[in-house]
Amino acid sequence: MIELQHVTYTYPFQEAPAVRDLSLTVNPGEVTLVTGASGCGKSTLIRLVNGLCPHFFQGNLDGEIRLNGMPNTGKNLTQLSGEVGTVFQDPEMQFFALNVDDEIAFAHEWLGKPREEIEEVVIQTAEHLNITHILGSAIHELSEGQKQKVALADILSLSPSMVVLDEPSANLDPESTDALAHLILDLKTRGIAVLVVDHRLYWLEGVADHVVVMDNGEIVARGEFNMLEDAALRARYGLRAHHVPDTRHTLPPLPKSGHLEVKGLTFGHGSGPTLYRNASFALPQGVTGIIGDNGTGKTTLARLLTGLTKPREGEIAIGGDKIKQKHLLKHAGIVLQNTDHQLHMNSVLQEVAMASGTHRVRKEDRDTLTAFLDRFGLAHLANRHPQSLSGGEKQRLVIACGLAQQPDIFILDEPTSGLDGHNMQRIADMMRHAADSGTSVVVITHDLELLHLACDVALRLPFSQDQQESSPCLKTA
């Protein structure tokens, strides 16, 4: 059981509390969904439950937090982690090993369990989460969704009595999200108290017993799932849709010809199996959704289209002109899943100046650059260091930088992962505006809501037989 009674918490060196007067109970065998716009205090709530606040972050705590009836302030983080299993939004934060088997076994080895028992736990947990096919795989080679499943396996293998999930659906395909929902239902039957913090709501219909909405560090609404049917409530607090149609099978297929054309694409990682064999397709001007299960090569395809990865064979043409692989990046922009990898300057204004080709912020360009940032809701952050921004702000900044280059093709890899309703709509609007301006926009996404709002056609992976021709491949120009 998780209990918070009138909890107020303030981080060190901050005057305003991050959360105020929180009272919340999650009983054994119950699932509580906590949602709200970015910055509303959800992450702090998670840290209060698992003990990171105040044990690690320090700060000032008022009120009482009880786990299974006992105050958590009297326990250290090691003791608390044995009771509360937490799956963080970025699963890489909690990995210690290099491959999947060792990662699941890691905590059990530290507990000194016999080898035979550890091997049995690893196999049973992998079967439970349907990840036996990636046992033995290197973690850095997994898709983001697969990493999330491994992190969940780490936690569940230790049989905690309470589980906290931070944005667990953010990187999962719809089928894996549905499987996660069924897994949570199974945790309920085992009497585990489950706290889910997520922006995506639809997948927990019929799963969550209670819904809590937070805003500005406070609980502003609570009730059953059907409370989310109130459109005014969702609009007021920046919530996602409570019900989302699955348009993956109704989106039109790719056209026979288009702005960007790929012929004879063949690729495999190192000496591993071939991922694509002699694939040919075309991308139109507009918004194309790349969809497919975790691990089918969506991100790899994006890297090939932008020249970041070299194919074994194949050629790419833009506007009818063949482009050499080493020149592709001059025509393409890409937003990676981890935006930190694409931010290098000392200020937001410098980032967009570099992307636009001015390389430095000249006085005569400042007004133009600031106006451009305003389109993305970032003008007020112009002088901030990029690494000081929130996840959603970084996402918008990288998109702004990509569009400042005026690319022929613009690829976004899971751009709405972890975004609230307001910012998800803002990303969809940015994509449509870029497409209307003549760019081929490609979005890799499992987000059914974004697909429904923004996409014109779909590229489905793995490639169909029709897309993988039997004719000889053409060498890259």
109 contacts 118 by C-beta, under 8 angstroms: yes
pTM reported for the whole predicted model? 0.83
Q: Report if residue 467 sits inside a domain.
A: no
| Structural domain span for residue 180 | 2-237
Question: CA 59 to CA 44: how far, in whole Å?
Answer: 12
Question: CA 22 to CA 39: how far, in whole Å?
Answer: 16
> Going edge to edge, which strands form the sheet with 332-335?
332-335, 409-413, 440-444, 286-291, 457-460
Are 91 and 127 in the same domain?
yes
Measured CA distances, 330 to 333, 376, 401, 402 (Å): 8, 23, 14, 11
In this structure, what CATH number is given to the domain that contains residue 335? 3.40.50.300
Q: Report if residue 469 sits inside a domain.
A: no
Q: Which two tokens stand for residue 167?
A: 């944005």
Q: What is the pLDDT of residue 472?
A: 38
Q: In which residue are the tokens 């944005």 written?
A: 167
Q: Report if residue 194 sits inside a domain.
A: yes
Are 40 and 176 in the same domain?
yes
Are 453 and 341 in the same domain?
yes
Are 51 and 117 in the same domain?
yes
102 burial type by CB count under 10 A (0-12 exposed, 13-18 middle, 19+ buried): middle
Residues linked to residue 458 through DSSP beta bridges, in sequence order: 289
Q: In which residue are the tokens 């894996």 written?
A: 176
Domain boundary among 206, 237, 268: 237
Are 341 and 375 in the same domain?
yes
Are 385 and 447 in the same domain?
yes
Q: What is the pLDDT of residue 476?
A: 34
Q: Report if residue 67 sits inside a domain.
A: yes
Q: Report if residue 466 sits inside a domain.
A: no
Are 32 and 130 in the same domain?
yes
Are 178 and 317 in the same domain?
no
Question: CA 177 to CA 188: how far, in whole Å?
Answer: 17
Q: From 238, 193, 232, 184, select the one nearest 214 (Cα to Cα).
A: 238
Q: What is the pLDDT of residue 475?
A: 34
Q: Report if residue 142 sits inside a domain.
A: yes
Question: CA 154 to CA 94: how far, in whole Å?
Answer: 9
Q: What letter does residue 253 receive in the DSSP assignment?
A: -
Are 177 and 287 in the same domain?
no
Q: From 416, 447, 417, 444, select the one nearest 430 (Cα to Cα).
A: 416
pLDDT tens series, the chain, 477 aa: 999 999 999 999 999 999 999 999 999 999 999 999 988 999 999 999 999 999 999 999 999 999 998 888 788 888 888 889 999 877 888 899 999 999 999 999 988 999 999 999 999 999 988 899 999 999 988 877 788 889 989 999 998 999 999 988 887 888 888 888 998 999 999 999 999 999 999 999 999 999 999 999 999 999 999 999 999 999 999 999 999 999 988 999 899 899 999 999 999 888 778 888 999 999 999 999 999 887 788 889 999 999 999 999 999 999 899 999 889 989 999 988 778 888 999 999 999 999 888 777 777 778 889 999 998 889 999 999 998 887 778 888 999 999 988 899 999 998 888 789 998 898 899 899 999 988 999 999 989 999 999 999 999 988 877 777 543 333 333
Q: Report if residue 474 sits inside a domain.
A: no
211 contacts 228 by C-beta, under 8 angstroms: yes
Contacts of 95 (CB under 8 A, 6+ apart): 103, 139, 147, 150, 151
Continuous segment of H or E residues that includes residue 109: helix 100-110
Question: CA 444 to CA 171: how far, in whole Å?
Answer: 11
Q: What is the pLDDT of residue 469?
A: 59
Measured CA distances, 92 to 80, 164, 454 (Å): 21, 16, 30
212 contacts 31 by C-beta, under 8 angstroms: no
Q: What is the pLDDT of residue 384?
A: 92
CA atoms within a 13 Å half-sphere pointing along the CA-CB vector of 38: 16
Q: Which two tokens stand for residue 457?
A: 């056609």
Q: From 395, 458, 455, 382, select the one nearest 427 (Cα to Cα).
A: 395
Are 323 and 220 in the same domain?
no
Count structural domains, the chain.
2
Are 343 and 447 in the same domain?
yes
Q: What is the pLDDT of residue 385?
A: 93
Are 272 and 307 in the same domain?
yes
Q: Report if residue 453 sits inside a domain.
A: yes
Domain boundary among 176, 206, 237: 237
